[in-house]
């Protein structure tokens, strides 16, 4: 009974480690193939670093952003990611659509914020529209996996474990084979 439990535990750990290797490999490949902009189902995956949209979008969540959109179709209630200043992107909800002398603008506010954003957002500053993908806390793991240390850890530990596990399985199989040979040769000697 104890041996079966150990074998099943080993299989589960191996399966989890193989899964982890596949996830990390997928993240690395999609990151390399898309110039650091991993995407799935036509949506770029972005990490949310603030709590301004909680509880709908948690700090550290990974969200999907559709970068192909028509600003004229945006409406109150849509969540957009826009560039607030150079290198600073914000994800907030549209609370008002302003059409001032044929100049389209959007008033935005974070769900958790008390006040609306001070400046209206121009369509040219909108990076994308939230496409529905929202995975809480996965951003922390993605950031860790994208760091050099995280990449080494996430590839090295499962790799070493799988090598050790394979070597152990081979050793056990050879030992059992040797035991079977010894038993069959001793039974031939008795006859």
Report residue 165 as tokens. 């596990």
Nearest to 87 by CA among 39, 143, 120, 49: 49
Catalytic pick among 31, 50, 185, 187: 50
Please give the backbone phi and psi of residue 95, each rounded to the nearest 5 degrees, phi first. Answer: -110, -10
Backbone angles phi, psi at 122, to 5 degrees: -85, 150
- C-alpha dist (Å) from residue 164 to 5, 17, 29, 161: 19, 12, 26, 5
Distances (CA, A) of 117 to 52, 110, 114: 11, 8, 10
165 is catalytic: no
- Give catalytic residues, as residue numbers: 50
């Amino acid at each position: 009974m104890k041996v079966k439990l150990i074998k099943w535990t080993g299989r589960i750990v191996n399966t989890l480690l193989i899964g982890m290797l596949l996830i990390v490999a997928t993240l690395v490949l999609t990151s390399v193939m898309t110039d650091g902009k991993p995407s799935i189902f036509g949506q770029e995956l972005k990490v949310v670093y603030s709590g301004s949209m909680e509880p709908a979008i948690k700090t550290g969540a990974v969200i999907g952003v559709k970068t192909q959109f028509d600003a004229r179709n945006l409406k109150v209630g849509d969540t957009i990611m826009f560039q607030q200043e150079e290198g600073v992107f914000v994800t907030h909800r549209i609370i008002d659509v302003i059409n001032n002398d044929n100049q389209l603008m959007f008033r935005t506010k974070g769900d958790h914020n008390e006040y609306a954003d001070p400046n209206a957002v121009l369509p040219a500053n909108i990076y994308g529209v939230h496409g529905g993908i929202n995975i809480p806390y996965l951003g922390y793991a993605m950031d860790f996996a994208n760091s050099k240390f995280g990449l080494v850890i996430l590839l090295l530990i499962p790799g070493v474990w799988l090598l050790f596990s394979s070597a152990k399985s081979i050793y056990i199989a050879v030992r059992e084979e040797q035991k079977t040979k010894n038993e069959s040769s001793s039974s031939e000697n008795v006859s």
